[in-house]
Amino acid sequence: MLRNLQNRVDLPAVVSSLTAEAAILEERIRTLREELAAVSAHTSVVADALRSAERATVCCAGEADPGERARKRAVPAAGGSHGRGGPTACRR
């Protein structure tokens, strides 16, 4: 009988300990969600910047010579188009 008494667990202490641990884990989850949202927002900003840089690179490729831009405008492409965004799409 003494052996059964020694093996008993202090249930209130276990419940209290598990409740405290659950609170800590819930706070950690909240913190991680906030950090994930911040990383996601930063990723979106970087992706937008890369897309803008890519558009600028594609749009203005081969226009290193400032006079080249004027020469290109003087001879419109077939159908009168000036390219992707019109004659003022590429601005430096």
Report pLDDT digits (tens) over 10-68.
999 999 999 999 999 999 999 999 999 999 999 999 999 999 999 888 877 665 555 55
| Residue predicted with more confidence, 80 or 49 | 49
Q: Which residues contact 77 (CB under 8 A, 6 or more apart)?
A: 83
Taking the C-alpha atoms of residue 50 and residue 56, their distance in angstroms, rounded to an integer, is: 10
Q: Please report, as a single letter, which amino acid is at residue 69.
A: R
80: left (phi over 0), alpha (psi -120 to 50) or beta: left
Task: Please give the backbone phi and psi of residue 47, each rounded to the nearest 5 degrees, phi first.
Answer: -60, -45
Position 71 confidence tier, pLDDT thresholds 50, 70, 90: low
pTM of the model: 0.49
